[in-house]
Amino acid sequence: MDHTAAAPAPRLKTSLLAVVELSKPVTWFPPMWAFGCGVVSSGQMSFDNLWLLIGGVLLAGPLLCAGSQAVNDWFDRHVDAINEPGRPIPSGRIPGRWGLWIAIFWSVAGLVWASFLGVWVLAAAAAGVALSWAYSAPPVRLKRSGIWGPLSVGFSYEGLAWFTGAAVMAQALPDARTITLAVLYSLGAYGIMVLNDFKAIEGDRAMGLKSLPAALGPRKAAWIACVTMAVPQAVVIALLMIWNTPLHAGLVGLSLAIQIALMARLMRDPKALAPWYNATGVMLYVLGMLASAFALSGLNQAAL
């Protein structure tokens, strides 16, 4: 008689906690912050359109960003089995194809929600959803590239979110200055995304993903990250001076100066210090974004 224990039946339902973990709420901060910068830059924030602000924050974080995390985790489940096997999908806490269905549902829900916030918001949301699937899903899988992968995430997290914040308040296409700063901060965010890839070097190499740290090594990748973070901010400072907002230009300049000092320490041991820089230098980066947004707010209010 075979006394071997029968394998447990697969779970048909997953826990709410695992789904929340899949959405990675800690990652919602960058797009929600960039969305807030867009709101500020519009110069049109008031209690009359508070519902648009709340709706946009929900769109940027709990819907679009959370959905992109679900998409990424589903298509990255084999890499995560090496790098982070405790995540909900590789650990089996979200079983079968539930991860895929959750990703699809979240993406569709984000687009439906965006449709109530304005045509330009919907356009930005559609671009963000398309980028999130192109980043993770084959055959495109932009994350295989050390160039297009971080760039697509930078534009989704910073540029599109900033654009959305400005568009939702104005209910119109944002002005050229707003779009310009959104693009510049997106380009700078490329460096932030490169540093974020340092945590997955071994898994990326094993799976053939050519992130910059995996392809070039930590030191070269860190140099590229630092330059791509610093140069767009220098351009922002120059533009703020041209637009006659010297106080805000000075604040961004101070932020950049401190970042450069922190970058010098980062280069001593990029792999070990990348998490430290993400907790210090990146905070200064986003504070500079807010200072720039306030500069645009004054300019746009004066133009009304």
Angle, helices 16-23 vs 98-115, to 10°: value is: 60
Q: What is the pLDDT of residue 105?
A: 96
Contact between 150 and 159 under an 8 Å Cβ cutoff? The reply is no
> Which CATH number fits the domain 16-303, given the four candidates 1.10.132, 1.10.600, 3.30.60, 3.40.50?
1.10.600
What distances in angstroms separate CA 88 from CA 17, 107, 196, one per listed residue? 9, 19, 20
pLDDT tens per residue, the chain (304 residues)? Answer: 444 333 333 444 458 899 999 999 999 999 999 999 999 999 988 777 889 999 999 999 999 999 999 999 999 898 788 778 889 999 989 988 999 999 999 999 999 999 999 999 999 999 999 999 999 999 999 988 889 999 999 999 999 999 999 999 988 999 999 999 999 999 999 999 999 888 777 777 776 677 888 888 889 999 999 999 999 999 999 999 999 999 999 999 999 999 999 999 999 999 899 999 999 999 999 999 999 999 999 998 877 6
pTM check: above 0.85: yes
Q: How far is CA 296 from the centre of its chain?
A: 22
CA distance 204 to 80: 10
Work out the end-to-end distance of the chain between its first and last CA atoms, rounded to an integer number of angstroms.
85
The SS3 assignment for 302 reads: helix
Partners of 145 in beta bridges: 210
Compute how many other C-beta atoms are within 10 angstroms of the C-beta atom of residue 251. 20
Residue ranges per structural domain of the chain:
16-303
How is residue 288 written in tokens? Answer: 């500079």
The SS3 assignment for 210 reads: strand
In this structure, the dihedral spanned by the alpha carbons of residues 258, 263, 265 and 270, taken in order and rounded to 10 degrees, is: 150
